[in-house]
Amino acid sequence: MQKSISILDKDYSRWISELSSRYRRSQIKAAVKVNGEMLRFYWELGRDIVEMHIEERWGDNVIKTLSIDLQREIPDAHCFSRTNLYYIRNFYLLYSQHTTIIPQLEGQFVPQSEGQILQQSVAISESHSQLIDRFFADLFSVPWGHHKLLMDKCQNNPQKAFFFVHQTVQNGWSRNMLLNFLDTDLYERQGKALTNFERTLPNESSELAKELTKDPYNFAFTGITGKYNEHLLKDKLLNNITQFLVELGTGFAYVGKEYRLQIGDTENFIDLLFYNLNLSCYVVIEVKIGKFEFADAGQLGGYVVSCNHLLRKEGRDNPTIGLLICKEKDSLVAQYALEASSQPLGISEYELAKLYPEKVEGTIPTIEELEQKLGDRIKNLED
């Protein structure tokens, strides 16, 4: 007699759950692979359109003709509309520019012998090949809808477009998330804080730490438009912790506000303490609503040292980083302060909601002004 399996059997239920998870993972992998193959086809088609100079050879209407012919030859395909073919052409035009500006390593080495010349030439070739491979791996991992948005927003800026391609891959951004970050000038702000990381951090982590900074930080999500103090600003930041973490960037985990450190006989309180999972280190953030002063860097450096002694675990955590976010800074004063500190510090500004200028005469009229002009025109017609 065949033994029936109880639906409550734990091993059977666990197996069903595992099969479900494996199937979903395989669906995701299949979708990524299909997307990658389609984008590779788009790249090659765009290359053909550009390199064959088809509009010069067959006239200005050749894209329209090509659309009709491809849809007739491949009726089950829905990607050959005239508009999409223009996007495909622009896809190649935009990103092929990036392949020509990927940093070359030639000239960075000064060989001393023929043997070194050969070894370094191989290293240069391999490094450049790896950069190209990573470029295409990221490029073909992003959905086509994202690429169309990037082509619309970054028409003549391949560096900016690929920056957002890489960010999308790293962070798994939806199209709406990508659009949001395109509207916040992230490319212009990313990695722009003044820091001393290159001097105070190991080479392998200094560049990554630098790229995690912004200048200015966009705190418009706090909704502050009137007078405020530091206490209110910090409360608003934490009341909107999800948006705050998004603005800080990938890998930040919130640890605490006014975080207490007992240093000798003195209690000290860090404004905001985070842990960055990518860097494996604590990040001390001090928020100042005024202009940066030398004393601010001294205080922040003291908190960084204290965290290294009291919180950092040897072998698990990397050196603590300090970030001071102020309303205003004199770049020269900030640079001198960073040079004077032996601790890894960064200094940035923040912005709240952008203010709009008062109406200038001759710009867009008000409703009342439009009604007045319309009334005057009707009166003139009646007269």
Residues 113-142 pLDDT 10s: 444 434 444 444 456 678 888 899 999 999
What is the chain's length?
383
- Inter-axis angle of helices 175-182 and 144-153, to 10 degrees? 20
- d(C-alpha 254, C-alpha 238), whole Å: 9
List b or e across 86-106, with b for residues whose CB sees 16 or more CB atoms inside 10 angstroms.
Answer: ebbbbbbbbbeebeeeeeeee
- d(C-alpha 368, C-alpha 11), whole Å: 74
Residue-level pLDDT at 40: 93
Residue-level pLDDT at 374: 54
pTM of the model: 0.71
DSSP reduced 3-state for 155:
coil
Amino acid type, 291: K
Amino acid type, 151: M
Residue 118 CA, chain-centre distance (Å), reads 38
Provide the token pair at 269: 């309180």
Q: What would the CATH number be for the domain defined by 193-351? A: 3.40.1350.10
Residue-level pLDDT at 105: 34
- d(C-alpha 210, C-alpha 218), whole Å: 17
- Please name the residues in contact with 330: beta carbons below 8 A apart, sequence gap of 6 or more: 291, 292
DSSP H or E segment with residue 288: strand 281-291
Question: Whose structure tokens read 């608003």?
Answer: 236
Residue-level pLDDT at 375: 59
- Between the alpha carbon of residue 186 and those of residues 250, 255, 306, the distances in Å are 13, 25, 32
Q: What is the full per-residue pLDDT of the chain (383 aa) written as tens digits? A: 555 545 556 676 776 677 777 777 776 677 778 888 999 999 999 999 999 999 999 998 999 999 999 999 998 888 999 999 999 999 999 999 877 655 443 333 333 344 443 444 444 445 667 888 889 999 999 999 999 999 999 988 999 999 999 999 888 888 998 998 898 889 999 999 999 999 999 987 898 899 989 999 999 999 998 899 999 999 999 999 999 998 998 889 999 999 999 988 999 999 999 999 999 999 999 999 999 999 999 999 999 999 999 999 999 999 999 999 999 999 999 999 999 999 999 999 999 975 433 343 444 455 555 456 555 555 554 54
Residue-level pLDDT at 22: 78
Nearest to 318 by CA among 342, 283, 294: 283
- Start-to-end C-alpha separation, the chain: 103
Contact 138, 169 (CB under 8 A): yes
Contact 234, 271 (CB under 8 A): yes
Q: Are strands 321-328 and 281-291 parallel, antiparallel or unpaired?
A: parallel
- d(C-alpha 289, C-alpha 230), whole Å: 6
DSSP reduced 3-state for 193:
coil
Q: Are strands 281-291 and 266-276 parallel, antiparallel or unpaired?
A: antiparallel
Nearest to 222 by CA among 200, 238, 199: 238
Q: Where are the domains of the chain?
A: 28-101+141-183, 193-351
Question: Which DSSP string corresponds to 119-133?
Answer: HHHHHHHHHHHHHHH
- d(C-alpha 162, C-alpha 184), whole Å: 16
Indicate left, alpha or beta for 175 from its phi (over 0: left) and psi (-120 to 50: alpha).
alpha
